[in-house]
Structure 1
Amino acid sequence: MTGTAGKLVASASEVDLDRPNIEDYLPSGSSINEPHGKLRLRDLLDISPTLTEAAGAIVDDSFTRCFKSNPPEPWNWNVYLFPLWCCGVVVRYLIIFPLRCLVFAFGWMIFLSSFIPVHYLLKGQDKLRKKLERCLVEMMCSFFVASWTGVVKYHGPRPSIRPGQIYVANHTSMIDFIVVEQMTAFAVIMQKHPGWVGLLQSTILESEGCIWFNRSEAKDREIVARKLREHVQGADNNPLLIFPEGTCVNNHYTVMFKKGAFELGCTVCPIAIKYNKIFVDAFWNSRKQSFTMHLLRFVTSWAVVCDVWYLEPQTTRPGETPIEFAERVRDMISVRAGLKMVPWDRYLKYSRPNPKHRERKQQSFAESILARLDEQ
């Protein structure tokens, strides 16, 4: 007998002569460390890096699902339905779209003709000015929703202005802010955007007490945290709305909530938002679509259907960490809106490898598996 296995069996025979020799039960010419028809141990060790890459590809795929639009199945597939679909396109683009543009333009005319005088002529009367500006912003958001033929159902008591409380919600699109703002004027923490959206942020929305940040600036975190604490303690400030996911998710999942909103010692009021995809998908993928094109999709759709639930206010339980508190609130929102919780951090969205690199890895893994199958 040769090899390590032979030495072990030989030594065992010397200790106990009555113990049977294991090689007596093996086919002729076989050894214990060379099984036939199966992968050997060294084969498993050889492919372990490949298996690791495969597991990484699976994890990455489950994460990217949170940020993919899932278009509905096409229904205009036969000669009977295609003419109806064409009629729908004509109605939406040539009749409904111009009417919605008129509503949108009319809303802006009323808003600007009222907001500018209130903002600049009532500088000495802050309480009255804030109240009027709050009403005007709510009105403008209502015009936004009307320009989409928005059908929004609100469930639960309307939010009120109270110090020491914040509102948190799941995030699908920037229109989340518009949908909840038409009911109650919130101050929101939001990333600073370029273009006309940034102009609105720095002029109109800043008067509502909104707080802006730049994700690429490390100093902004300290500044935002300080402004957040100051805002929460103000008795006359608008309720503060935070989207703790920190990015738009496709309204099928919720990713991990950042703990910043949950370590202030404030009462947290969860808001669950769920869009019905029967008419339009509300998810905004900012990497593939500008916000202008995103709004254009709403204006040219049949309607935007949405449910908003104001859930029971929550406080930190004894011994509960901010992370545990955040996960408990996320679970409440996910259950109410019918969303699936996934254990991913939104930073993976910005640090993931290039999709082409991932596809090359997946192709390499598939080729290596096929090559091993051919060898067997």
Structure 2
Amino acid sequence: MGARSLSFAPFDSFGDGELEREEVQRVTPGIELERRATASRTSTPEDAATLARLLDCSGILQDACAAMIDDSFNRCFQESAEANWNFNFYLLPLWWCGWVIRHFVLFPLRLGFILSASAAFALAFMFSHYCTPRRWGFERKCVELYAAAFVVSWTGVIKYHGPRPSRRGHMGGMVYVSNHTSMIDYLVMTQVSPFAVIQQKHKGWVGLLQRTAMNAIDCIEFNRTDIKDRNTVATRLKQHVAEKSRLPLLIFPEGTCVNNKYCVMFKRGAFDLGVDVVPVAIKYNNIFVDAFWNSRRQSFSRHLCTLMSSWAVVADVWYMEPQRKREDETSIEFAERVRGMICKRAGLKAVPWDGMLKYYRPSPRECEARRKAFLAGLMA
């Protein structure tokens, strides 16, 4: 990254970094005039020279403001604002009618449907423990149907493009990588063909599903705050792709949900396994609902309720040709090449940020040390 990419915006020190460049250019000449006027009013030449050096940092301040303008980290996790189209007197009644239908007609029906599907899924899984013959195929089909039930509960309109994963047999030894907008990405892809996925450990009913259905199809759980889990996951990844009989592995290399407008840096783990990597691009249409899950502001249950109370969830999924690392290519370069393919296909903007900055903030001691170092540089 160049100097313009340096910014403290990921740590929320300067809000969302939405300053306008014109405002910075307007303020900077005023800083210069204030510097000269203040220096001329200073009592002694020594004080004037000292104050002039301190105020001479206006250029640095301009560069800092420009960096905040160019910063795109926080924008990667901003939800789309709804357009205020309903302030017209003859459209407002129609908007309210639609709101009532979505929340008091469609939502109860969809909720009842998914609860019924969940009960049937639980009974089927309990039954599978007593049916040892072909148990693997039965549980795989249950997961596939359950994912399809979720998509139906949102009135999902999903268009699939390119060569889909085969429903016949297993396609182990391959890794599918995709951009990540929400946990529903897995459901959208699994209704076509089940995948074993790397997943963050959750609590509540999502955690219950992880410990039952997801474990039954060899999904890999991890805790991003536990270093031991990282080593275990790396070992299990290699073991999984080494067995051709297992389900294909689905990985979201961004490591966090991004708002379907940007794409943050890919982790290299999926590209170090020595197997073919299949890029998958997912693009949601925000015309009916924003499918981005902002986990810092709402639970996944609340997110599902939002989807169920919308008219529909519209998305396109592109399966691209398998890619293999070239001999003159490092794992990081391979990851960037695949990310570029996904961004181009889905119309996303690639940004040079590590998505893990979303979860970590520097300590006050570290911030103070950085301020002192910056001040020392100005006084030198």
Please give the TM-score of this superposition, normalised by the length of structure 1.
Answer: 0.79
Is the 8 Å Cα contact of residues 172 and 247 (structure 2) preserved in structure 1?
no
Determine if the alignment matches structure 1 residue 57 to structure 2 residue 68.
Answer: yes
Determine if the alignment matches structure 1 residue 131 to structure 2 residue 142.
Answer: no
Determine if the alignment matches structure 1 residue 74 to structure 2 residue 91.
Answer: no
1:128-153 deviation digits (Å, cap 9, x = unpaired): 11111111110011110111101111
Determine if the alignment matches structure 1 residue 145 to structure 2 residue 154.
Answer: no
Q: Distance in 2 between matches of 1:196 and 1:188?
A: 18
4+ residue stretches of structure 1 with deviation over 4 A? none
SS at match of 1:265: coil
Is the 8 Å Cα contact of residues 331 and 341 (structure 1) preserved in structure 2?
yes
Is the 8 Å Cα contact of residues 173 and 248 (structure 2) preserved in structure 1?
no
Q: Which residue in the other structure is 1:172 paired with?
A: 181
Q: Which residue in the other structure is 2:209 paired with?
A: 200
Q: Which residue in the other structure is 2:323 paired with?
A: 314
* Deviation of the 1:157 alpha carbon: 1.6
Please give the TM-score of this superposition, normalised by the length of structure 2.
Answer: 0.78
Is the 8 Å Cα contact of residues 269 and 311 (structure 1) preserved in structure 2?
yes
Q: Distance in 1 between matches of 2:103 and 2:360?
A: 39
Is the 8 Å Cα contact of residues 266 and 336 (structure 2) preserved in structure 1?
yes
Bigger radius of gyration: 1
Q: Distance in 1 between matches of 2:121 and 2:63?
A: 57
The alignment-based identity, stated in percent, is 55
Q: Which residue in the other structure is 1:93 paired with?
A: 103
Q: Distance in 1 between matches of 2:196 and 2:181?
A: 18
* Deviation of the 1:78 alpha carbon: 1.7
Q: Distance in 1 between matches of 2:63 and 2:359?
A: 22
Residue type of the alignment partner of 1:46: C
* Deviation of the 1:158 alpha carbon: 1.7
Among 156, 171, 186, the alignment partner of 2:162 is 156
Q: Distance in 2 between matches of 1:298 and 1:146?
A: 11
* Deviation of the 1:162 alpha carbon: 2.6
SS at match of 2:164: coil
Q: Which residue in the other structure is 2:126 paired with?
A: 116
- Mapping of residues 178-189 of structure 1, within 5 Å: 178-189=187-198
Q: Distance in 2 between matches of 1:129 and 1:236?
A: 14
Residue type of the alignment partner of 2:72: S
Q: Which residue in the other structure is 1:83 paired with?
A: 93
SS at match of 2:250: strand
Residue type of the alignment partner of 1:132: F
* Deviation of the 1:122 alpha carbon: 3.2
Is the 8 Å Cα contact of residues 166 and 241 (structure 1) preserved in structure 2?
yes
1:207-226 deviation digits (Å, cap 9, x = unpaired): 01100100110111110000
Q: Which residue in the other structure is 1:279 paired with?
A: 288
SS at match of 1:269: strand
Q: Which residue in the other structure is 1:209 paired with?
A: 218
Q: Distance in 2 between matches of 1:102 and 1:293?
A: 16
Is the 8 Å Cα contact of residues 103 and 146 (structure 1) preserved in structure 2?
no
Among 228, 233, 240, the alignment partner of 1:224 is 233
* RMSD, aligned CA: 2.3
Is the 8 Å Cα contact of residues 172 and 249 (structure 1) preserved in structure 2?
yes
SS at match of 1:275: strand
